[in-house]
Amino acid sequence: MTSKLPVLNIHTPTSSFAIAHDVNSENITALFDKLSRKSNTEFYGKRVGPSWLKYEFNSAFWNLDDDADYTIFIWRISSPEYKAQNPDESVTLHLHDPTQPLPSPSSYRNPSFYLFRPERIAVSRVSSPSLRSKRTKKSEAPPGDGIPQFKKEFEKFHLENGVRTVVGSIGPVENVRMLLKTGYRYVYISRKFAMRHGFIPADAAPGYYGYGGLVNIGKWPITVGRTKTIHSVYLSEESHFDVVLGRSFMEKRQIKTNPIDPTDLVSLDTGEKLDCELVILKDGKGEIVTVT
C-alpha cells in the first residue's frame, strides 16, 4: 500500500498549482527552492523568499517568512481545528511577489487567491437584513425608552461605520494610530503631536508653524505594514487623531478599500493586506463625534 503523497496547493494572483512537499521532513528553505524552480509561473526566474507566502488559520492570514513562522505553521496545520476545517488534509499557501503590483480589475484575477475570493461579498450580501426585516425590528422595539428614533438611527449608522484607522510610524515615532481619510488631500499631523515629538519647536508662537495658514514641515517617512514611503507633511489643528493620512498617501500606496467590509484594506503597490480598525469617537457626554 503506497503512502499518500504530501502536496501543497499554491494560489497566486493569476494561477494555481501544486507541488510535492513534506512539511514534517523538509524545511522552509527547501520550500522556497522548489517554488523558485517552478516553471510557467509569473515569478519564474526570481528567488522566492520572505514576504512571498501566506497561509490561512482561524479566518486570518499569516506570513510564512522564516524558520520560526514555519515551526508555528506546522503546529497549526497539525491542530484539531485545522484538520476539522480541512477534512481532506489539504494544505494551501498563497504566493505573491511583494515587488509586483496585483493584476488590475480588467485583467484576470485568480478567484482562489485570498485577496480575490468572492465569498466575502456573497456572504455579506446574503447576511444583510432585508428592508422588511428592518421595519419588523423597529415595530417590535420596546417603546418608552425616551430616546428619539432619529437619534437611535444616527448612532446605529455611525456605530456600523466609524472611521478607518491604521497603526504605523512617522519619522522616529512608532505605534501611532492614524486616521485614513480621502477627504484630506495630504498627510497631516496635529500641532500637539508635532510639538511633543520635535517635528516643530516646543515653544512655537502664534503666527508661526501653521497658525497663519497651512504650513509644510517637510518630507517624512511613513511606515504602514511592511512598506515605508516618503510624504510631504502638513500641520493640522485636528484634535482627534495625531496623524491623518489623506489622498496623497492612499494614491502612493494604491490603497484599495472594500465598500462592504470597511476593515478590508489592501495596498496594491505590494499586495499587502493592511490591518485596519474602525474607531467610533464620542465626546465626554457620550455623544458621537463625526470626523469630516
pLDDT at residue 36, rounded to an integer: 93
> Nearest-CA neighbor of 240 among 196, 155, 178?
178
- Reported as a pLDDT band with limits 50, 70 and 90, residue 152 is low
What is the mean pLDDT of the segment spanning 183-190?
Answer: 89
Q: Which residues contact 125 (CB under 8 A, 6 or more apart)?
A: 260
Task: Calculate the average pLDDT of the chain.
Answer: 78
CA gap 78, 62 in Å, rounded? 16
- Reported as a pLDDT band with limits 50, 70 and 90, residue 290 is very low
pLDDT at residue 253, rounded to an integer: 93
pLDDT at residue 263, rounded to an integer: 83
Domains in the chain, CATH or no CATH each: 7-116 (3.10.20), 160-279 (2.40.70.10)
pLDDT at residue 213, rounded to an integer: 58
pLDDT at residue 160, rounded to an integer: 44
pLDDT digits (tens, 9 = 90+) for 189-220: 988 898 888 888 766 655 555 555 568 889 99
pTM over 0.85: no
Exposed, middle or buried: residue 247 (CB in 10 Å: 0-12, 13-18, 19+)? middle
Given a cut of 70, whether residue 55 has pLDDT beyond it is yes
pLDDT at residue 122, rounded to an integer: 41
Q: Mean pLDDT check: name the lowest of 28-32, 36-40, 98-102, 218-222.
A: 98-102
pLDDT digits (tens, 9 = 90+) for 81-140: 777 777 777 789 999 998 888 888 888 989 999 888 775 434 333 333 433 433 344 444
pLDDT at residue 174, rounded to an integer: 93
pLDDT at residue 2, rounded to an integer: 52
SS (H, E, C) the chain: CCCCCCEEEEECCCCEEEEECCCCCCCHHHHHHHHHHCCCCCCCCCCCCCCCEEEEECCEEEECCCHHHHHHHHHHHCCHHHHHHCCCCCEEEEECCCCCCCCCCCCCCCCCCHHHCCHHHHHHHHHCCCHHHHHHHHHHCCCCCCCCHHHHHHHHHHHHHCEEEEEEEECCEEEEEEEECCCCCCEEEEHHHHHHCCCCCCCCCCCCCCCCCCCEEEEEEEEECCEEEEEEEEEECCCCCCEEECHHHHHHHCEEECCCCCCCEEECCCCEEECCEEECCECCCCCECCCC
Q: Which three cell numbers stand for residue 123?
A: 456572504
Q: Which residues contact 80 (CB under 8 A, 6 or more apart)?
A: none
Exposed, middle or buried: residue 186 (CB in 10 Å: 0-12, 13-18, 19+)? middle
What is the mean pLDDT of the segment spanning 37-45?
Answer: 88
